[in-house]
Structure formats: C-alpha cells, structure tokens
Amino acid sequence: MAPITIPGDGVDIRLWTRPEEVEEQAMRQLRNISALPWAVKHVAVMPDVHYGRGATVGSVIALRDAVSPAAVGVDIGCGMTAVRTSLTASDLPDSLRSLRNRIEAAVPVGFQQHDEPAFGDGDAGDWKAFWRGFEDLTPAVHARAEKALRQIGTLGGGNHFLEVCLDTDQQVWVMLHSGSRNIGNELAQHHISVARKLAHNAELPDPDLAVFLAGTPEMAAYRHDLYWAQDYARRNRSVMLRLVCDVLRGEFERVRFDEPISCHHNYVAEETHFGEDVLVTRKGAIRAGLGELGIIPGSMGTGSYVVRGLGNPESFLSASHGAGRKMSRTKAKKLFTAKDLAEQTAGVECRKDAGVVDEIPGAYKDVEKVIASQSDLVEVVAKLKQVVCVKG
C-alpha cells in the first residue's frame, strides 16, 4: 500500500498502515515523537506499529545531531538471524520432540545462562578486543561482567524464540530472535535515566523521549555503550546459531549451511537521508536498503518471511520487524488459555503451557497483511513455517 501521511505536532507522520488501526496510545506517542525539534522530514511508521515505552514499536526516526535512548528500546540490538540448510522435510523424523530437547539443552532460555562461556575460536570476530571494551562501558554495569560473559549464546524470554522452519520448497531453515540480554537492558535503563535529567529535555511532551545532543559527553558515553551492546547482540545470535547448527550436525552427518542472514531491529545507525546526515533510530524496524536481505517473523504458530529491501527513501530505507502485537501481554493472558495456545500452535513442536500464553498467535497482528502493507518497501524471498519453536 502507498503510505498515508497525516500532520504531526512538528514533522509529518507517514504510516504504512491505516491510521484507525493504530491504538490511541501509540498515536499519541507518534505525535510526541513528531514534535521533537531535532526530527527530520517525517516519522516513518511501519505496519506492525504498536505502543511501547517512550517511542512506539515499529517507528523509524531520523534526528539531526540527537538520539533518544528510549526510541531505541531497552533490548539494544535485538534482531533476527536465519540460515537455510541442505536438509529437506523428508530428512526430519516424524517426532521432533527429541530435536527440540537437544536444542533446549544446547541453548539456555529464560533467565538461564551457560556454566562456562560458550564462544570460542570457531566463532567469528576478535573476542578478546570485544571483551576489553567492557571495561570502558559506564561503571554502572561493571558488576555484570561475569553475567554478560555467560549470557552470550542464550535466548532469553518474552518474544524471543528459536525455530526450525520449512520454506515452500520444503527446505529446512534455522531462525532465531534475540538481543543483548541483561547487559543491553541495564545499559539502556542507565542512559534513559541520565537523559531524563538533562535540562534541554525539561519541556518535552514525554520525559521518556529525552535525547542526548551531539558534542556532549553524555552523547559520547551513550553512543559508545550503544554500539558495544549492538555488537554484543549480533555476537549473541551468532553463537546461538552455531550451537543449533552443531545440534543439527550431530543429528544429520551431511548437513550443510548457506550464508546466514542477520539484521538488527532495535538500533541506531549513522545514515544520510534527503541530503542530510542523521542518526536513524529503528525501534521494531529493519533496514531495507535496495537489495538488502532481512527477516520479518510472525508468531509462534504462523509463517515468517525472508525479504529483500526495495530501498524506498520515504521509509528511511526501512521495513517492519515482525507482525507486531495487537494486544498487551496482560490482555492476552486474560483472553486466552493454554488450550487456545495448543490449538493455535497445532503441528508445531513447542511449549503449550500457561507460561507462554502471552505469546499466543492470537495476540499478534496478521503477518500476511503486514507483509502486504509494505509491498513498496520489500519483496518476499522466502516464506517459512516453523515445525519446532523454542521459547524461554
């Protein structure tokens, strides 16, 4: 669909969904964002938009010489990774319970962590240099070094997941969704608190939209910690993917893997848009530059998509990060039961207990409609359907 532009309280608001489908709280947030004096051109709103802390999930904001830590979110660097394997559906056993159990044994979920660091020489990147960078983070998190070390290669909980999927050609894929774990959350909370106290933020319509300004020590400290946390999230997904691929290697001797696809969807990037150098914040949105591959998941019982960006400048080269919630976790727990979850995840080897009812497919928007609403932003490369889903 073509985007719909409505006036904001400063710059315009450009939506890839119908305005009446955006809940009132989220629309109020979008107006608050549009009023930021540093905002450039317009606020781009993805079709999976919904209410979030400070800034809506599914919003793309370009700021001139400023960045709002709450507009990034507390799970800095959260994103997706997927890889196609050489396996097909016929290679999988009739019962997938054992495969799910082996994956859960290899990758800690929820609040669990590895007993020993899970990364090694086989994992890409200079790990020694990366961990030396921990010492330069804000002192507020220095006591978390050991926890951060052991949470590399772990899934977490909430909407994070790890899946084995089939595409429409019956090829097997591995796909996962996670971020910067506790260390990213603590860094975000610290900097949001610092930003709220700065004098230039005193008159903002929402204190959670507080920004750091270029050229200040607070901005320098935040950007240093932010980029470290984004790298942590990327490495976390990389190690998890290797752990799951190792499980598959143990099950299927001749399995091979294509080049992985990976993308952040809670992050900041230095980019140029409409002839101006800006700091782009994508909170619940992926970059969709021309030809760039991305991943847009649905829910634990519906399909997901691998997509290729079309490079639409009006969205700041962005697309949605998923289906997006259509109700809060609290409402989902009140409305649905474990029996509903079992029915809506029929055919998927996954948890079907009350502990994950808030992640039931019925709590999410229709991912098919979300994809259709951004046909000018991305094209579909592959449609995936999970057969195994691991949740925290």
Q: Does the annotation place 159 within a ligand binding site? A: yes
Q: Does the annotation place 177 within a ligand binding site? A: yes
Q: Does the annotation place 304 within a ligand binding site? A: yes
Q: Does the annotation place 273 within a ligand binding site? A: no
Q: Does the annotation place 322 within a ligand binding site? A: yes
Q: Does the annotation place 82 within a ligand binding site? A: no
Q: Does the annotation place 101 within a ligand binding site? A: no
Active site residue: 42, 114, 191, 321, which one? 321
Q: Does the annotation place 48 within a ligand binding site? A: no
Q: Does the annotation place 54 within a ligand binding site? A: no
Active-site residue flag, 50: no
Q: Does the annotation place 162 within a ligand binding site? A: yes
Q: Does the annotation place 265 within a ligand binding site? A: yes
Q: Does the annotation place 312 within a ligand binding site? A: no
Inter-CA distances, 236 with 124, 125, 363, Å: 11, 12, 27
Q: Does the annotation place 391 within a ligand binding site? A: yes
Q: Does the annotation place 175 within a ligand binding site? A: no
CB-based burial, 242-272: b 16+ in 10 Å, e otherwise: bbbbebbeeebeeeebeebbbbbbbbbeeee
Q: Does the annotation place 79 within a ligand binding site? A: no
From the list 64, 154, 172, the residue with the least C-alpha distance to 111 is 154
> Which residues fall in the annotated binding site for GMP?
159-163, 265-266, 297-300, 304, 321-324, 391
- The residues assigned a catalytic role are 321
User: Binding site residues for Mn(2+), as ranges?
Assistant: 75, 160, 177, 265
